[in-house]
Structure formats: C-alpha cells, structure tokens
Chains A and B, each alone.
Chain A
Amino acid sequence: MKIVVKLFASLSDLLPADSRANSMEVVVHDDATANQIIDLLQLPRKKVHLVLQNGLFVEPQDRDLPLIKEGDAIAFWPPIAGG
C-alpha cells in the first residue's frame, strides 16, 4: 500500500532532494508497522521520539502493531520541544 512518510527536524536530511513539505510517498506491505518504516528508512530507532499517524500520537508500545492503513500519513521527529 502507498503511504505518506513525513520526516522533520534533523530526520529531514533523509528526504529525497525533490521532496516537498517534508514528505514523500512510500510503498510498504499491508501490515507494515511504524517501527518497520523506521527500519526501512534506516533511522536509528532511538533517534525517533515522536510518531504521529494522521496527527495522532502513536504510543511507543504500538509502534510494532500493524495499525497503518493505505493513504495514512506517518510523521517522525527526533527529540524536540518548544514553548
């Protein structure tokens, strides 16, 4: 299935040069998990702190569950904060 992967902050270095708005389309198998996508992108898992699926928080323990659907947007951030 096709999904949209978004990489932000220091993770955005991994995006192809022609990507727009920090996102790219990726084809994954139908029961892909967040952690499998992280591995596919060769991101060190401990560098990925925040995962949002269609804007909703993915709990660390849910990152190995096949919760992703066709067309979903999965966004990843390293450790960040703001104010």
Chain B
Amino acid sequence: MAWTQNVLRVNLSSGETAKEALNMTWADSYLGQRGLASKYLAEEIDPAVDALSPDNKLIMVTGPLTGTMASTGGRYSVVTKSPLTGAIACSNSGGFIGAEIKMAGWDMIIFEGRADTPVYLYLENEKAELLPADDLWGKSVWEADERLHQKHQDPLIRIACVGRAAEQGNLYAGIINDLHRAAGRSGVGTVMASKNLKALVCRGTRGVGNLKDPLRFLQAVEQGKRVLAENAVTGQGLPQYGTQVLMNVINEMGALPTRNMQEVQFEGTHNISGEAMHEPRSSDGQPNLTTNAACFGCTIACGRIATLDKGHFTVENKPGYWGASGGLEYEAAWALGSDTCIDDLDALTYANFLCNEDGFDPISFGSTLAAAMELYEMGVITEQDTDGIELKFGSAQALTRTAELTARGEGFGKVLGLGSKRLCEKYGHPELSMTVKAQEFPAYDPRGIQGMGLAYATSNRGACHLRGYTVASEVLGIPEKTDPLVSEGKAELVKAFQDATAAVDSSGLCVFTTFAWTLDDIAPQIDAACEGDWSTEKLLEVGERIWNLERDFNLKAGLTGKDDTLPKRLRKDAAKSGPAKGMVSELDKMLPRYYEIRGWTPQGELTAATRQRLGL
C-alpha cells in the first residue's frame, strides 16, 4: 500500500527514539507528505507556539510514491511552524534523501524537543541513533557532509543538513540535502538548528514495495513516463533549459521583479538568462552551465549544474568553488539578479553556491538585499550599517560580500538574515518590504500576472509561487491559456491550482510533472500503489481539505484575513513599462470572490459548513 506505515518519533530533549504506527485514517484523508504531516503538526502542537521553542515540532515526511518507480517519486517535505512567517511551513525538496528515508522503512520522522548539545540522527533501516555533532556545529553544510561521509565510511549514505546560517538564527535558513537540493523556504532549517539538530544521515536498503497492485502500478507508471517524454515541455524544454528559460519570457511580459519591485523589466536580463548559461564566456570560453541533472527517479531532469570561471573575482583564490555544483534556477536568478539589478551571471552563481553551502533561501536573501539596497540609495542605511559595503543596486561585489556575511551570520549579514519585513521595520520603512506574511515574493510581478497576486496573498506559507502556480495558465497556457492582465476568473483559477498542488505535494511526486500531467495522469499511479480508492475527484477533495487545514492552523496561530494582502507598492504604484504599464494588482477585486468559493466568511474564516464538508 505504498506507505511503510512506520513513523519514527525522535525526542531530542530525552534522546529517545520510538517507532509508531502511521495513522491510516489520517493517511486516507490527507494522503502523505505535505497533507499528512500538516495533520500531525496541527494535532500535536499549539499553533500559537513560539516557532523556535522546544514545543515546536519538525517533521520530515515522504509521500506514498516516494521511493517508488514513479517518475519524480523522490520528493520529501519538511513541515513545521515557520519562524519567518508564524504560519505553517512546508518546504519540499528533491534529490535523494526522501527516497532514502522511505527505503529505510519510514514514512515520517517527527523531531520534538531540543537537544542540550548538538546532535545528528543516524538512521540505518530500523536503527535510529542520536550521535554527537559538536564537531560539526559551526561548519557549513558542505564541510559537515564531507566529515559525515568520512566518519561513516559509507558512500551511499544520504544527508540533510543545516549550515551556519541556520545556527546563527537566519530566519529563512533551509535544510540542504545531497549538497545542493533544498527544503529552502520559510526557515525550516532555522527550526532544525534551534533544536540543536545538525543533520539527518540516512541509509536505507529495504527498497520500497508493499504496493496495492504492483502490475497495475507498473503499467500506470509506464504510461505516465510516456506522457512526460512525449510532452514537449517535460520531454525537451525543462531538461534543456531548466526553469531559467523563463527569465526572458517574464521580462518580455513586463512581470520580472526588478529593483526591489520598483520596476517590472530589467535591462540586463539577457546576461542572467537560461540562454546566457549556455553561451561560452568571453573570459575562459566555457559556458556557465555544465550539465542538467535529475532527482531520484526523475525522467525530466530539469536541474542545473554549473561551473564558475576560475578567474572570476569571486573565486580567484578559492579552489573550493571551482568544481561543478548546483546552478541557478529561475527563482534564485531573479532574486539575486534582476531584483538587485546585477547582471553578472557568475556572481549570481557564486552567491547561489553560498546559499547551498550554508543553507539559506536565495529568494528571501536576494529580496531582502534588494530592500536593503533601496534603503541604502535613499540614505536610510549607510556604510556604517553595512560593514563598509557600498550597497548599490547593480553591484556584484555587494551581492557576493553580503552573501558571504549572511552565510556565516556575521555583521550586516545578521541583519539581512532577519528577512525583508524585519529589516525594513528596523529602518523605519515597512512599506519597502516586498513580502506577504513576512515571506519574500517569488519571481512574478502580480501587476503583470494578476492571478499570482491572489496566489501570493492567500498562500498559506506566505508569498510563494509553488502553492498555486497560475503562471502555467496565464503565461504558458497549461492546461489552458488565461489572460494574465485580467483579474476576472482568477479566484477560481487560483483555487483550482492550490487544491491540485496540495494533492501533488502530498504524493511524493514533483509538481513540475504537472506541466504535462493532470490529476487524471497521477490518480491511476496513486490508486495502483495505495490502499483505498484514489480517483481524481478524491485527490481534489484531499487537496482542498489540506488547504483548509493549513488555513485553520494559521488562523489559530493568530493570522487573519488582514494578512491576505500585498504591499502597497503592488496595489497602488502602477507598472512602469511593458504590457502591464499603468496597471496595479487588482487583489481587492479577486479576494472576496476567492473567500466565497472557498466557503469562508468575508473575513476569511472557515464556516461551519466548510468544516463539516471537509471533515475538519
């Protein structure tokens, strides 16, 4: 039935570990991964708890298809209460650790309490041990990874680890697995470090079986893989150009956040685009992009592996950065690039390497830096605040120097580690923070892509593109084209994307499959693997239930409908160029309709009827 039905509970305060049976009633209602762990979290903690106290819990969770032969079936998520937003956090990552946890025989690991001194969890099938990590504390993810591999003398262990940013309290620190895949958003790494938990080291040799109907599963999986291979986007576009190919598209559309979202088009776009990653550099004749890469079991392989020019000013005397490593995805490239007006591709790539090396979210970092740059250019922040760094828009030196400080939580890097909202408040200009629920925006300006404004405002984890990626419809025409400049009909579109995505995020599959797959392609795979009846309709119902459960958690945590908003800049200041010139986000037109179709009150609260309908 795809779930292992085993939960590992790790009490970091007492040092005890215990095996429990998975609650199968909840699995039937919430599927796995994001949904199921959110249910556990909502049941086990007070949503009002301080996110960095021992009373918060951190759940690493797989989906029923994680570790199976389904394409992209290697995903895992980290669910906790976010220290950045105060809302529920769920960060999803690929790579290989998710499949390894599953192959060790576990659906979920629940960490609770706080260890007195730094520890890491060593998990080898049934064996779960908390081991001292004093020698790893203060080390980067990459260094800790190397030491752990040396210590355990097993090249096949998989590691998820926090870096120095998390240890130093950076509020958007992530958990890095397999060196450069990240459960990156909302500060899930910060919570892990607050528990004195440095890493999970995992080795699983049991394989993943226990499927409801193995033959039907293999047939469904094969059919799914054929659809991905034959689809031009997942079969050719994503492997060849990755997500970064969007840089030019979104710039042409006038929706590329630039200069802390003061502008919507960036003159240096070409230099930091997916196309530029393929071009030989004038300096060494080599391209930035080395190859593409795949996560566990993925037949799309959208990942970017990049190599810096050894003579680039950032790494001239640093051979540690001369090898190939995780390259720029679109989300990192816009935040580190257009938002800060920096068009030096290798500088962006170096900053991205640092985000992986020490585990902090490049979206939140880039956006926070852009806000700091605006404050600097206004004269509110001076070089006395910035450790002497000239924090000008367009300065690659400012980007890479502040990235180094943020990685280690030193000097002005500590302030940048607070995130944009707290930084802007500290300097008396909260209006300059481009955030929702204190989380920084992703790569689409909602003035030029109206649906994304509503998706950001209502996202349960703060501004996020992956909770309801209406860009697929509004820009790419998947599954059908809608007009990005029109707000009418977007409430329905956003809700449909949010519910479907919640189901996909709970399955163990990657959301990028949905450029080719609909739930009609996914349901047969889940249904053949999992006990129960998993139709498209049921997945949509589960997705909607998950969305409402997360909302309910947030309301109990103290958030309200007033938090479903966008910064004034996006609602009042019109876009200055491109097709959306003269437009603002029409959030106020979309939000009431959205609440209505969600079955919420005009204040954004769940009604009794909605609770009853969804079994909440």
The residues of A with any CB-CB pair to B shorter than 8 Å are 6, 8-10, 12, 20-22, 49-50, 52, 54-57, 59, 73, 75, 77-83
* CB <8 Å contact, B248 and A8: yes
Query: Can you list, as one digit per residue, whether each of B217-249 has a CB less than 8 Å from chain A (1) or not (0)?
Result: 000000000000001111011101111111011
Which residue of the partner chain A has the closest CB to B267?
Answer: A21
Q: B561 in the interface, Cβ–Cβ < 8 Å?
A: no
For B248, the chain A residues whose CB sits under 8 A away are 6, 8, 22, 75
For A49, the chain B residues whose CB sits under 8 A away are 232-233
Of the A-B pairs whose beta carbons lie under 8 Å apart in the complex, a sample of 23, sorted by A's number, is A6-B248, A8-B275, A9-B275, A22-B248, A22-B275, A50-B476, A50-B477, A52-B252, A55-B578, A55-B579, A56-B579, A57-B475, A75-B252, A77-B245, A77-B249, A79-B233, A80-B237, A80-B245, A81-B245, A81-B246, A81-B512, A81-B515, A83-B465
* CB <8 Å contact, B512 and A79: no
* CB <8 Å contact, B511 and A78: no
* CB <8 Å contact, A55 and B476: no
- Given contact pairs A9-B245, A83-B469, A52 touches B270 in the complex (Cβ within 8 A): no
* Most central of A59, A75, A83 by chain B CB within 10 Å: A83
For A22, the chain B residues whose CB sits under 8 A away are 248, 270, 275
Which residue of the partner chain A has the closest CB to B510?
Answer: A83
**A55 to B484 alpha-carbon distance, docked (Å):** 11
* CB <8 Å contact, A83 and B579: no
Q: B331 in the interface, Cβ–Cβ < 8 Å?
A: yes
Q: B32 in the interface, Cβ–Cβ < 8 Å?
A: no
Which residue of the partner chain B has the closest CB to A57?
Answer: B481
For A21, the chain B residues whose CB sits under 8 A away are 269-270
Q: B604 in the interface, Cβ–Cβ < 8 Å?
A: no
* CB <8 Å contact, A82 and B252: no
Q: B175 in the interface, Cβ–Cβ < 8 Å?
A: no
* CB <8 Å contact, B249 and A80: yes
B230 to chain A, nearest CB (A): 11
A73 to chain B, nearest CB (A): 8
The residues of B with any CB-CB pair to A shorter than 8 Å are 231-234, 236-238, 240-246, 248-249, 252-254, 269-270, 274-275, 329-331, 465-466, 469, 471-472, 475-478, 481, 483-484, 511-512, 515, 578-579
B138 to chain A, nearest CB (A): 33
* CB <8 Å contact, B232 and A83: no
CB within 8 Å: A-B pair count: 93
**A73 to B577 alpha-carbon distance, docked (Å):** 14
* CB <8 Å contact, A83 and B252: no
Question: Besides the contacts A9-B245, A83-B329, what 12 more A-B pairs have beta carbons closer than 8 Å?
Answer: A9-B237, A12-B275, A49-B233, A55-B578, A56-B253, A57-B477, A73-B252, A78-B237, A79-B236, A80-B238, A82-B242, A83-B465
* CB <8 Å contact, A6 and B236: no
**A82 to B512 alpha-carbon distance, docked (Å):** 8
For B331, the chain A residues whose CB sits under 8 A away are 83
**A27 to B184 alpha-carbon distance, docked (Å):** 48
* Most central of A6, A50, A52, A57 by chain B CB within 10 Å: A57
A44 to chain B, nearest CB (A): 12
B386 to chain A, nearest CB (A): 32
- Given contact pairs A52-B252, A55-B579, A82 touches B478 in the complex (Cβ within 8 A): no
* CB <8 Å contact, B249 and A6: no
**A25 to B119 alpha-carbon distance, docked (Å):** 62
A74 to chain B, nearest CB (A): 10
B312 to chain A, nearest CB (A): 22
For A79, the chain B residues whose CB sits under 8 A away are 231-233, 236-237
* Most central of B249, B269, B331 by chain A CB within 10 Å: B249
* CB <8 Å contact, B274 and A81: no
Which residue of the partner chain A has the closest CB to B443?
Answer: A82
* Most central of A49, A52, A56, A59 by chain B CB within 10 Å: A56
**A54 to B253 alpha-carbon distance, docked (Å):** 8
